[in-house]
Amino acid sequence: MKSIDGRIIKIAIAALALTYSVYLFVDGSWISGIFMTLLTALLIVLCFRSLRLILAFLQIRQQKMEQAKVWLERVNPNHLWKNQKGYYYFLLGSVDVQKNSLSQSEKYFRTALSHGLRMEHDKAAVYLNLAVIMANKRKKREAINMLNEAKKYDTKGYLKNDIKQISKMVNSI
């Protein structure tokens, strides 16, 4: 039996909440209508974001890689919006690179790039991770190419120090 896409259920619940908000305003219950509108806004945000992906991201920020992996395993990438798939594979690659599973994490990072990442510094982080993987595989030319891409996408300088360290590592190969 084919499972129902969770996105459709979330959108239906958000639509019902919006309808009820309008009803409350029409009925004259202004305070209840305002609170229901805030709840509706939260539901609409959840329609476009995967809660499990957010929880996995928070676990990675706390360096709890095993728990992050558990949350990522619960995500069905086929039920993610197009722009979320890139971040799903980015998080999977980040978890696997911590486990020293270089070939698998390289695959995830490349898949993340192919699906697309919205933020420039996220692209820079993926290229930087790929540079580290290439350096560990003793592929100096590819590592340098990845470093150059990371520099190109790190327009705000968030990864400037990391790029310098990895560049020294690559040049020592």
Q: How many domains does the structure of the chain reveal?
A: 2
pLDDT in tens, the chain (173 residues): 556 677 788 889 999 999 999 999 999 999 999 999 999 999 888 777 778 888 888 998 898 888 999 989 988 888 888 878 999 999 999 898 887 778 889 999 999 999 988 889 989 999 999 999 999 888 889 999 999 999 999 888 888 888 889 888 888 87
Is the same domain home to 67 and 82? yes
Is the same domain home to 70 and 141? yes
Q: Which domain holds residue 134?
A: 51-171
Is the same domain home to 56 and 139? yes
* Cβ–Cβ under 8 Å, residues 166 and 135: yes
Is the same domain home to 22 and 55? no
CATH label of the domain that carries residue 96: 1.25.40.10
Is the same domain home to 83 and 8? no
Is the same domain home to 93 and 167? yes
* Cβ–Cβ under 8 Å, residues 170 and 151: no
Structure tokens at 127: 């290229």
Is the same domain home to 114 and 144? yes
b (16+ CB within 10 A) / e for 127-139: bbbbbbbbbeeeb
